[in-house]
Chains A and B, each alone.
Chain A
């Protein structure tokens, strides 16, 4: 090996290590500190579950968590259904304005959420929809649909059209073709789209912040409010639980679906 190749051979693992380090070390520190009895991060750690007990007794935080989970699940269900149907329609039919419609799907992803949030607040006030959990759900669905449409469309683009023709020639009704041939093919795309939709909603701070009412907010908004009042390791405890749950869900999903490839 030449010296240059040796440096490169070392640089790869080093880069990967740094990448994973920057991603996971802060999370690891937070998780560790959630078990530290000291609220001032003093070492060595004195193990305790006090912060978890405190979080479990914090009505406001629990309500916000519940709101976040239910809004994220509802938003995921609605946007995945609508987005998948839209992707199928865009794939199958050609109609006037189709390209414009497809082009209009991208800007919402690029527009800063701060601007989208402000616009939604103004619009919801103007139309009488107002603020509250229903407004947050509506906003999240609108934000998530483009992600689902784009991910499912990418999967559909690889769908061999003669599979549907073969199924029809064998006597399958359009519904049977969709259920037994098309949907199994696009399933990985639908699952990936749903994960995106869940992440968009569950991580959402800006839009939720604008549309929340004082008593009714979501977890990110509540955490932000709590930090402004004065940080307590309760937040670490809640965040650790959230991370544990979402990571297990992701790992489960990636075991059942192979993303990005056949066979």
Chain B
């Protein structure tokens, strides 16, 4: 249990920069989600913190101690691998007790701690099994128990739920969160699944091409994205071109000027890109007097039970709208519609 900070971290693979000047503070006991497409550098960052690969620049501090030159085995970390990496020649109990045993702990202490860890992950009584006799979800729990039984300073999770099917994954998310809270470990979690990152993390960093492009609490980076990449990678935000006028933003074809969103407004006359969340847009059949900022025509409708997604063509381009299915009549392709949203649904993006 310790804060971790990485400062100006760089890692090269030949001419390619897998990580480029990344600095992040991981708070003590926090659950930090590292999100990004494959090749974005998120696993590289995790492996650098673990100590598997050498740094090409920058520093890593665990609990204030610079661990740049400390070998993996002395960093006191816990790691869960995507493949679980359970030792096939050992029983579940020996797998979980491995970290204590290599530190020279007494047999009785190992047994007690292993029992406690297996209880925590709800695998009591399975200690004598071999890894190949377990289901995927059970192996995942063993890997987690093995990583936390040594009371590491930081828990590193590399796509730990990636190999599980959807239903099991949802269950394990809840479990993982419970266990993390009970143990109070500083946790760094790598995933490419945005929903998983939003659900589990209390802070998220989005990486792209080795750079940290977006960072903050899940609500904040979801509701107020700073970059076009962040806005579209997390949920499918609509990106609209707008022109800045002294009194507000003008979106091409919009009936009225948008009041400036909470952010600072760029200089009048400049062109900006704004993000608009699909679920923040209200859609209604165009009728005289119905509220509308933009007019358009439905070109496609996807009905998904609880939600309905519309693709609306208008003067500002194609706009995605997601509405909750609240029993309203469902609009069909070809329908003329009005789109409306609250003032704070719009965020101005950095260029």
Given contacts A169-B77, A171-B99, are A160 and B83 in contact (CB under 8 A)? yes
State A160–B146 Cα separation when bound (angstroms): 18
- For B86, what are the chain A residues with a Cβ–Cβ distance below 8 Å? 166
Asked if B103 is at the interface (CB within 8 A of a chain A CB), the reply is yes
Determine if A166 and B81 form an interchain contact, defined as CB atoms under 8 angstroms apart.
yes
Q: Give chain B residues whose Cβ lies under 8 Å from the Cβ of A166.
A: 79, 81, 85-87, 146
Q: CB < 8 Å: which of A163, A169, A181, A262 contacts B72?
A: A169
Given contacts A173-B102, A181-B87, A262-B132, contact A168 B72 (CB under 8 A): yes
Mark B59-75 against chain A: 1 for CB-CB distance below 8 A, else 0.
00000000000011110
CA–CA, A263 to B102, complex, Å?
A: 25
Which residue among A162, A165, A170, A173 has the maximum number of chain B CB atoms within 10 Å of its CB? Answer: A170
Is A69 part of the binding interface, using a Cβ–Cβ cutoff of 8 Å?
no
Distance between Cα atoms of A251 and B273 in the complex (Å): 75
Q: Is A184 an interface residue (CB 8 A)?
A: yes
A262 x B88 contact (CB < 8 A):
yes
- A138 lies within 8 A of chain B by Cβ: no
A246 on the B face (CB < 8 A) = no
Contacts A162-B83, A167-B102, A180-B87 given; 4 further ones with Cβ under 8 A? Answer: A165-B52, A169-B156, A170-B73, A262-B132
For B97, the closest partner residue in chain A by CB is A170
Can you list 24 A-B pairs with a CB-CB distance of less than 8 A? A160-B85, A162-B81, A162-B83, A163-B85, A165-B50, A165-B79, A166-B81, A167-B102, A168-B72, A169-B156, A170-B73, A170-B102, A170-B150, A171-B76, A171-B103, A171-B150, A172-B73, A172-B98, A173-B73, A180-B87, A184-B89, A185-B89, A262-B88, A262-B132
Select which of A170, A174, A184 is within 8 A of B98 by beta carbon: A170
Least Cβ–Cβ distance between B79 and chain A, in angstroms: 4
A172 to B97, CA, bound (A): 12
Residues on A with C-beta less than 8 A from B72 are 165, 168-169
Q: How far is the CB of B48 from chain A (nearest CB, A)?
A: 13
For residue B78, CB closer than 8 A to chain A, the reply is yes
CA distance A255 to B244 in the complex (A): 81
Contact residue among A162, A171, A180 (Cβ-Cβ distance under 8 Å from B73): A171
Chain A residues near B98 (CB-CB < 8 A): 167, 170, 172, 180
Chain A residues with CB under 8 Å of B50's CB are 165, 169
Tell me the complex Cα distance, A166–B99, Å.
Answer: 10
- Cβ–Cβ < 8 Å partners of A58 in chain B: none
A118 interface residue (CB < 8 Å to B): no
> In the complex, which residues of chain B have a beta carbon less than 8 angstroms from the beta carbon of A181?
87, 89
Q: Check: A254 CB closer than 8 A to any chain B CB.
A: no
Q: Which A residues are in CB contact (< 8 Å) with B87? A: 163, 166-167, 180-181
CA distance A225 to B132 in the complex (A): 55
Contact A165:B85 (CB < 8 A) given known A172-B73, A263-B132: yes
Q: Is A176 close to B, CB under 8 A?
A: yes
Task: Flag if A172 contacts B79 (CB, 8 Å).
Answer: no
Encode B4-27 as 1/0 by CB contact (under 8 A) with A: 000000000000000000000000
Q: Which residues of B pack against A, CB within 8 Å?
A: 50, 52, 71-74, 76-79, 81, 83, 85-89, 98-99, 102-103, 132, 146-147, 150, 156
Partner-B contacts on A (CB < 8 A):
160, 162-163, 165-174, 176, 180-181, 184-185, 262-263
Whether the Cβ atoms of A169 and B89 lie closer than 8 Å is no
Provide the residues of chain B in CB contact with A172, threshold 8 Å: 73, 98-99, 102
Smallest CB separation, A158 vs chain B (Å):
11
7 A-B pairs with least C-beta separation: A170-B99, A166-B85, A162-B85, A184-B89, A169-B79, A168-B72, A172-B102
Q: Which residue of A lies closest to B74 (CB)?
A: A171
Q: How far is the CB of B12 from chain A (nearest CB, A)?
A: 18
Q: Closest Cβ of chain A: how far from B155's Cβ, in Å?
A: 10
> B89: which A residues are within 8 A, CB to CB?
181, 184-185
CB-CB < 8 A to B76: which residues of A? 171
CB distance from B75 to the nearest CB of A (A): 8
CA distance in complex: A174, B102 (Å):
11
Residues of chain B contacted by A168 (CB below 8 angstroms): 52, 71-73
Contacts of B78 in A (CB 8 A): 169-170
Q: Which chain B residue has the least Cβ–Cβ distance from A164?
A: B85
Instruction: Return chain A residues, CB-CB under 8 Å to B132.
Output: 262-263
**Distance (whole angstroms) from the CB of B25 to the closest CB of chain A:** 22
Q: Which of B76, B81, B85, B132: most chain A Cβ within 10 A?
A: B85
Chain B: minimal CB distance from A241 (Å): 36
Which has the most chain B C-beta neighbours within 10 Å: A171, A176, A180? A171
Question: Shortest CB–CB separation between residue A176 and chain B, in angstroms?
Answer: 5
What separation, in Å, do the CA atoms of A172 and B76 have in the docked complex? 11
Complex Cα gap A72–B156 (Å): 50
Chain B minimum-CB-distance residue to A179: B102
User: Shortest distance in angstroms between B213's beta carbon and chain A's nearest beta carbon?
Assistant: 28
| Most A-side CB within 10 Å, residue of B72, B77, B103 | B72
Q: For the complex, give the distance between the alpha carbons of A262 and B79 in Å.
A: 25
CB distance from A253 to the nearest CB of B (A): 18
